Amino acid sequence: MSELTIAVCPGSFDPVTNGHLDIIERAARIFDLVIVSVSRNSSKIPLFTIDERMQMLKESTSHIKNVEIDAFDGLLVKYAKRRNAQVIIRGLRAVSDFEYEFQMASMNHKLNDEIETLFMMTNNDYAYLRSSAVKEVASLGGCVRDLVPEIVLKELRHKFSNTVSTERGNYDE
């Protein structure tokens, strides 16, 4: 029997957006198993807890059979090896992502040259979509309905109580 192809898709996912989901869905068409793993290491102060982020990922990927949601800390390449993954998937949006991603991929290759980093180009519709912008817009009462899955919209509304608009194009004054 041939070996399963397994990819790890690491990130903060604070919260998961339609840009992330696009990458996860495309990766799931290529690999036998895609492990979407929430990083516990992030230096950024998160809006959602690890459990909340995992739950939102679980609900928004429940339609994809070969996706598993997990969390990790410590070195990504060590985690990938432990999970028998051969590949780390990262999404690329603008050129501005490249420098950082290039450094990370080079460092990870130095730490373990058996694990490849594979970059997937963003879907044009989501080229400017990032979790930080979603949080900022939502906190100011802007509409993020087209940018995040339904469960995230619900959780953002909960976090920012009455400020999140659910109407398309409806921005509070």
Residues near ligand ADP (CB under 6 A) are 11-13, 17, 19-20, 23, 90-91, 93, 97, 122, 126, 129-131
Distance CA 110, CA 120 (A): 21
Helices (H) and strands (E) in the chain, counts: 6, 5
Q: Is 78 a catalytic residue?
A: no
Q: Of the listed 12, 20, 39, 60, which one is catalytic?
A: 20
Q: What angle do CA 130, 139, 96 make, to 5 degrees?
A: 20
Q: Of the listed 12, 39, 131, 165, which one is catalytic?
A: 131
- Rank residues 17 and 108 by Cβ distance to ligand ADP and give the closer one: 17
Q: Is 131 a catalytic residue?
A: yes
Q: Is 20 a catalytic residue?
A: yes
Q: Of the listed 58, 90, 93, 154, which one is catalytic?
A: 93
Distance CA 78, CA 85 (A): 10
- Rank residues 33 and 129 by Cβ distance to ligand ADP and give the closer one: 129
- Rank residues 14 and 161 by Cβ distance to ligand ADP and give the closer one: 14
Compute the radius of gyration of the chain from its Cα atoms.
Answer: 16
Tell me the closest approach of the beta carbon of residue 154 to ligand ADP, in angstroms: 19
Q: Is 44 a catalytic residue?
A: yes
- Contact between 23 and 125 (Cβ < 8 Å): no
Distance CA 27, CA 165 (A): 32
Q: Which positions are annotated as active-site residues?
A: 20, 44, 93, 131
